[in-house]
Amino acid sequence: MGKPLLKTLTVVAVGVGSVAICLVGYRQNNQRQYQQRVEYAQTAIASETDSIASLKKEVASLYLNEDRTFLKAGITADDISQLVGKLSMIKVSGEEYGIEENALPADAKKIQKQKQAIDDELKDIEAKQKIQEATDKLFTKGVSNWQKAENDVIIKKDLKETDVGSIRENLNFF
Q: What is the structure's pLDDT at 69?
A: 82
Residues of the domain holding 135: 2-171
Q: What is the pLDDT along the chain (174 residues), one digit of tens a residue?
A: 568 888 898 999 999 999 999 999 999 999 999 999 989 988 888 888 889 999 999 999 998 888 888 888 888 899 999 999 999 999 888 888 888 888 888 888 899 999 999 999 999 999 888 888 887 777 767 666 666 666 767 777 777 777 777 777 776 666
Q: Which residues have a Cβ under 8 Å from the Cβ of 84 and sit 6 or more positions away?
A: 119, 122
Residue count of the chain: 174
Number of domains in the chain: 1
* Distance of alpha carbon 125 from alpha carbon 122, whole angstroms: 5
H helical segments located in the chain = 2-60, 77-89, 94-97, 108-136, 161-171
Residue 70 DSSP symbol: S
